Amino acid sequence: MAAEDTSKVSEAYPMNGGDGPNSYAKNSTYQRAVVVVAKELLNKAIVEKLDKDIKLSFNTFHIADLGCSVGPNTFYSVENILEAVQSKYRIQGKNSQIPEFQVFFNDHSRNDFNMLFKSLPQNRGYFAVGVPGSFHGRVFPSASIHIAHSSYAIQWLSRVPEAVVDRDSSAWNKGRIHYSNSTDEVIRAHETQYNKDMECFLHSRAQEIVHGGLMILMIPGRPDGTPHSHSLANITLQFLGLCLKDMARKGVVSEDKVDSFNIPMYTMSPQELKAAIERNGCFSIEIMSDLPHALVSDTISISELLASHLRAGLEGIVKQQFGEEILDELFRLYRKKCEENASIFESETAVNFLVVLRRTAD
């Protein structure tokens, strides 16, 4: 893929499809653990914050999962939301009015929807549909969604900022694959892109979510005040860049390809997100809180976990730039790099945060 192309994609890179050993389906344990710790918070949010007289469409409650990937995490999240809505009806003494549910699984049109559909839970309590398209634009009719949910997805930008892959620009991100350990210009270009994308995201959702409906976001972020370079989510990406540079030095990949490769992922702080929500003006912030750290498993080392987690999420974009043949070696090196730097993962700061927004009346 030519360098120029990387900056032009507005349809981003799908997670690793299928159900093979490196698939997203089998390597999203961490995201799953976050869903589990969030369950209680989510239940409370829905019971307390969802408009109790929310207007239904022919007695059907519409739930959307934005950036759903191929499962199975999306199914756990949806199940949790559905149970919370049902329990809200019960608490209100409206057992007999519990609606039917229709769940809209959304992701890029290049997502593996065939895999998603094949793995839908057999005895699900909802009608399932797949919605192809970028959540940076409109994907649903006006006022048609009661709860929109998105977990570990809105950190993806819609594209790599143009200047970052332009060799003649002062914001050219030479020799790095992420903005977080780069120059101020590169960081600014990403901040600008983030602001644009978040504006589009919130504007679209404001049109799609019914008044009194909720948007629930789980986001891997950086704590307020932490520089981009010190955020743990970013450091894991920087490590991948170092491994690619090592491979370029050995002649396994071309230096040019490393120079033109950028991962369009932005690690936002709660403050930045808050500012974007306020600029949009259509949502009230009902909850914005850190998620407790997820205990994944002690049978797997942190390096192993990070390598499988990163591979599942980034294999698509890496393959497109460097070809399939480098994948095994790259993620082997990556795991080694993590092992060598294990102490960083204890000292640097990470935060996962949960945000619950309510669509206010215009």
Footprint of a copy of itself on this chain (CB under 8 A)? Answer: 55, 57-60, 100-102, 104, 109-110, 112-114, 117-118, 120, 127-133, 138-144, 210
Nearer to a copy of itself (CB atom), residue 9 or residue 294: 9
Nearer to a copy of itself (CB atom), residue 11 or residue 286: 11
Do residues 318 and 327 lie in contact, with contact meaning Cβ atoms separated by under 8 Å? yes
**Angle at alpha carbon of residue 120, lines to 302 and 310, rounded to 5°:** 25
Taking the complex as a whole, how short is the minimal distance between the CB of residue 55 and a copy of itself, in angstroms? 8
| 3-class SS shares of the chain: helix, strand, coil, % to 5 | 45, 15, 35
Nearer to a copy of itself (CB atom), residue 130 or residue 223: 130
User: What is the rounded CA–CA span in Å between residue 177 and residue 330?
Assistant: 14
3-state secondary structure of 243: helix
3-state secondary structure of 65: strand
Nearer to a copy of itself (CB atom), residue 101 or residue 152: 101
User: What is the rounded CA–CA span in Å between residue 163 and residue 167?
Assistant: 8
DSSP bridge partners of 209: 145
Give the distance from CA 228 to its chain's centroid. 17
Nearer to a copy of itself (CB atom), residue 21 or residue 58: 58
Strands (E), 86-126: 100-107
User: What is the rounded CA–CA span in Å between residue 128 and residue 63?
Assistant: 10
**Residues contacting 40, CB < 8 A, separation 6+:** none
Nearer to a copy of itself (CB atom), residue 107 or residue 197: 107
Type and span of the H or E element at 211: strand 209-221
Nearer to a copy of itself (CB atom), residue 132 or residue 223: 132
Nearer to a copy of itself (CB atom), residue 102 or residue 352: 102
Do residues 150 and 64 lie in contact, with contact meaning Cβ atoms separated by under 8 Å? no
| Per-residue CA distances from 199 to 157, 162, 272, 316, 330 (Å) | 12, 18, 12, 26, 35
DSSP state of 13: P
Taking the complex as a whole, how short is the minimal distance between the CB of residue 46 and a copy of itself, in angstroms? 20
Taking the complex as a whole, how short is the minimal distance between the CB of residue 114 and a copy of itself, in angstroms? 5
Nearest to 177 by CA among 251, 236, 249: 236
